[in-house]
Amino acid sequence: MANVPHPLSEILLGVSSESCPNIMNFHCHTICSDGSLEPELLIAQASQRGLQHIAITDHHSTQAYHPMTEWLARRSNQGLPVPRLWSGLEISCLLKGCLVHVLALGFEVGHRALHTYNQNNSATGGSLQAKAVKEAIHEAGGLAVLAHPARYRVRHELLIDAAAELGFDAGEAWYDYDFQTNWHPTPFICEAIDDQLKGLGLMRTCGTDTHGFDLSGR
């Protein structure tokens, strides 16, 4: 990527185990993929909870982005507080022969580089490789994040190392692998992931991965 820091970078440097779900949430879903909430209802809930930053990362779809920006504009025009909405997309790809998910954050919505990954289905062929996904995200001006590194059949240590070698920007450090009703980062696993990411010079994100009706859980 260019030497100019991405505008989201400064925000991610402040991510900690306490950031989610009430301050930041960079991983959640609407009915535009496999979530339960309409885009407007999700962003309304985020606003009511007082979130400062949020990204909706529907699988292979950015359909929710524009309805939410319009909702936020109306609320802001009324003088009411709103969170900063960052563009998001969850993309399936192959990393070390393992099917993983990558979060694209803070990219130009509608950019041609991400067209292949914004068709409601996984890509095929060479486009399915993690290197191709990372390059497309960067070309669109976004950050490439390895989602929930400890949810795959390959050990998270190996996947994070591979992502770093490919030039990924970050990993999802704080995640609830126990899928509790009230989100809470999983001890030890998340701390180990956070430490590894720091050691590799990668940024860390957090997210509830909400698919249901409440942003405080999955």
Whole-number Å distance between alpha carbons of 168 and 131: 9
Question: Of 178, 190, 187, which is closest to residue 217 (Cα–Cα)?
Answer: 178
Identity of the residue numbered 173: A
The pTM is what?
A: 0.96
Q: Where are the alpha helices (DSSP H) in 87-211?
A: 130-139, 156-166, 189-199
Cα angle 170, 83, 31; round to 5: 75
Q: Please answer whether residues 89 and 57 qualify as being in contact, where contact means their C-beta atoms are separated by less than 8 angstroms.
A: yes
pLDDT at 211: 96
pLDDT at 1 over 50: no
Domain 21-206 belongs to what architecture? Alpha-Beta Barrel (3.20)
CB atoms within 10 A of CB 38: 15
Whole-number Å distance between alpha carbons of 95 and 71: 37
Per-residue pLDDT band for 212 (boundaries 50, 70, 90) equals very high
pLDDT at 2 over 50: no
Give pLDDT tens digits for 151-178: 999 999 999 999 999 999 999 999 999 9
pLDDT at 4: 79
The predicted model gives 185-214 an average pLDDT of: 97
Q: How many residues does the chain have?
A: 218
Q: Please answer whether residues 190 and 175 qualify as being in contact, where contact means their C-beta atoms are separated by less than 8 angstroms.
A: yes
The predicted model gives 52-61 an average pLDDT of: 98
pLDDT at 218: 82
Residue with tokens 């050990």: 155
pLDDT at 167: 98
Mean pLDDT estimate for the chain: 96
Name the pairing type of β-strands 88-95 and 98-105: antiparallel
* HSE toward the beta carbon, residue 158, CA cutoff 13 A: 10
